[in-house]
Structure 1
């Protein structure tokens, strides 16, 4: 491939990654801004996404949806939807109860939890992977320890964010199993649909207000759907066709400073100075873990 064609491939990929990072970085600030219960926001972002995807899922993808309903891929998609609901039901409240910077950093530990799940299944982790886990855990402990001196609510928000990261790790593992047989559209339609139904049931059971919001809140919810829910993930999936999963995983970590900047610029949320070293250590640990995993896979090949 000549230099000109390489540049033509690199430019769209770089643009896609830039849009994706900006889209996912807006998620936590939009949640914090919205004057609505976190569980209701979680329901609407999934429910509206399902409405957008339905014409495709029940149109061109209808035969695939029928096959999924009769096979294990459909089961994995439903299970992924259940764990996605658990992820949203824990992480999104953590954003409203605590700070955007801390909640985003703690939920970014998802790859670490996936690594620990793999280790529990008997898979070998490289030394760099364990070093990354150690750094990430130390950073999380530092940031959470700072919040102990702030309030019990801040600590509770940290715990919810960590639970959200664990749920996201399980969600990703189940999604990988489903994606072996299913297209992105079919998988996400089933997954988001399951998630929306579960969250709706929870909202109704606990009498969570699902409407009556102001225009700014509805705009924030629509921004979540168009940005993090549809556009962000779609751009990352596009980029995966032209670059490595490791590159994408590391770039996703830019969501942490991106969300912190937006929260400072837009919501006047200034990260606590005492927590910054811990958050930086956490992000560095996750990056070391991801890069260590990638190097280990290359060596084994």
Structure 2
């Protein structure tokens, strides 16, 4: 293999990862099934796919896992369930573009969590947080004139971003001693079990969907849930966490473009300046976090959508 091969493979993996996560919100909006049911199937099926590896080649690691690591993995699964319960309904209630942009505020909340842990954001980090909050307020304010449902979708997407940050912080602790495969198996399995419980209690149908909806769910599992996550983690071995974190932001315009071309969802003009300001703020937060690897490492390669 020549010297250029790793760079080419890294570039290709990043392209695949961005395309995979960009398809997530449009697929959720397209699927004719309850959002929480879709969340259950994408996590449950992903856990099933990972089971042969975890209970096979990784069995010894799982048996030797510390109680602390397993506990953090289980808690991360709880936070991941909260992320899906809030963000996925927001995609079906409102605009794909707005929901994807608002949930992308995850690095902002991650920075505030780091502050609570005694790691102060840089000046650039604070500036980015301010810009992102202003952009989120602008975008949500633009939806006030649309409908209460649109505002509810915005609030849910923001809560989804917060939950994603908590998930990332907990996962960072579990990943200190667990491999990606073992950690995600514990996390996805916990998340799926909780979502199944919610579906049963709420009486949400888990079957009876049409063929196109099942195809969308399978595409979510293979794409955003498994392929996107794996490709971003592969790229992290060959490029910086800052680069990966910034490229994850391409999910926002990517999802908006797919929703426009595929679903006919044209982004609302009044919200676009706010979304642009929000993304600029998140971009600045990521660059500011680059000065503190402990903060940034938790956000890179962790696109959940």
Q: Does 1:92 align with 2:88?
A: yes
Offset at residue 121 of structure 1 (A): 2.3
Offset at residue 146 of structure 1 (A): 0.3
Per-residue CA deviation, residues 184-240 of structure 1 (Å, 9 max, x unaligned), is: 110000000000000000000000010000000000000000000000000000000
Residue 13 of structure 2 corresponds to: 16
Question: What CA distance in whole angstroms lies between the structure 1 residues aligned with 2:270 and 2:85?
Answer: 28
Question: What CA distance in whole angstroms lies between the structure 2 residues aligned with 1:77 and 1:204?
Answer: 24
Gaps of 5+ in 2: 295-305
Question: What CA distance in whole angstroms lies between the structure 1 residues aligned with 2:226 and 2:121?
Answer: 33
Offset at residue 297 of structure 1 (A): 5.4
Question: What CA distance in whole angstroms lies between the structure 2 residues aligned with 1:172 and 1:257?
Answer: 23
Q: Does 1:77 align with 2:73?
A: yes
SS at match of 2:4: helix
Residue 206 of structure 1 corresponds to: 202
Residue 47 of structure 2 corresponds to: 50
Per-residue CA deviation, residues 58-115 of structure 1 (Å, 9 max, x unaligned), is: 11111111222x5210000000000000000000000000000000000000000010
Match among 187, 192, 205 for residue 196 of structure 1: 192
State the TM-score, normalized to the length of structure 1.
Answer: 0.96
Offset at residue 123 of structure 1 (A): 1.5
Match among 157, 161, 164 for residue 161 of structure 1: 157
Give the total of aligned pairs.
Answer: 294
Offset at residue 168 of structure 1 (A): 0.2
State the TM-score, normalized to the length of structure 2.
Answer: 0.95
Question: What CA distance in whole angstroms lies between the structure 2 residues aligned with 1:202 and 1:290?
Answer: 34
Question: What CA distance in whole angstroms lies between the structure 1 residues aligned with 2:292 and 2:169?
Answer: 19
Question: What CA distance in whole angstroms lies between the structure 1 residues aligned with 2:12 and 2:56?
Answer: 30
Mapping 1:255-294, distance limit 5 Å: 255-294=251-290
Structure with more helix by fraction: 1
Q: Does 1:65 align with 2:62?
A: yes
Per-residue CA deviation, residues 122-167 of structure 1 (Å, 9 max, x unaligned), is: 2221100000001100110000000001000000000000000000
Question: What CA distance in whole angstroms lies between the structure 1 residues aligned with 2:2 and 2:143?
Answer: 51
Residue 300 of structure 2 corresponds to: none
